[in-house]
Amino acid sequence: MNSSFDRLYLFLLLIPLITIHEFAHAMVATLMGDRTPREEGRLTFNPLVHMDLFGTLIIPAINIFLLPGGFGFFAWGRPVPINPSLLKNPRLQGILIALAGPLANIITAFFILLIAKVVIPQDHKLSELFATFVLASIFLAVFHLLPVMPFDGWTIVKNIFRIPDQWEHQMGIFWFIAILIFLNLPPVYHFLEFSAYHLFMVLNLLSGSPLHR
């Protein structure tokens, strides 16, 4: 991200991508019999109900506008409330609900690539804008699959290994600070970058899109 427009574009992109992500959690939970997301008003594409002040606005804004690299893919929305007692198989369905958000972002990325294939000529000036959209969506999916609390990857691990909820509550704010430090470690960043770019290449190949990054 070199220009102010690029940074603003990336920042604004995160809002619809997070909305899609959280809506997917709410939709899958609802389809599996949990009425809580609907009752809490989360079964909607209205971004205002999914945005988290810290995770959607403050942290991305700091990363994008203040840090030298302009790295802003560390973002998240308000967690969709789930009532496991309303699920027939809480462990398995909990995993599927957690996977729904990242999968929605990957499907969105693939859909944008298909659109690009139809509407964007090779090396057109719009290619970079579309490519940024796709990469942001993929990176958000990869980021949320990290097996660290409170992201979707952690929910998957928690259900697989039956980790009690009390363990999360005991960690509190210290765990959250540790996560922010962990996510900014160069090996973690490079792993996320490597995974996202290679998934971008795979989806690009499958879609036959003219985009490149």
What residues are annotated to the active site? 22
Preceding peptide of 60 cis, ω within 30°: no
CA–CA gap between residue 16 and residue 183 (Å, rounded): 23
Q: Work out the angle between the directed axes of helices 152-161 and 90-119 (0-180°, nearest 10).
A: 150
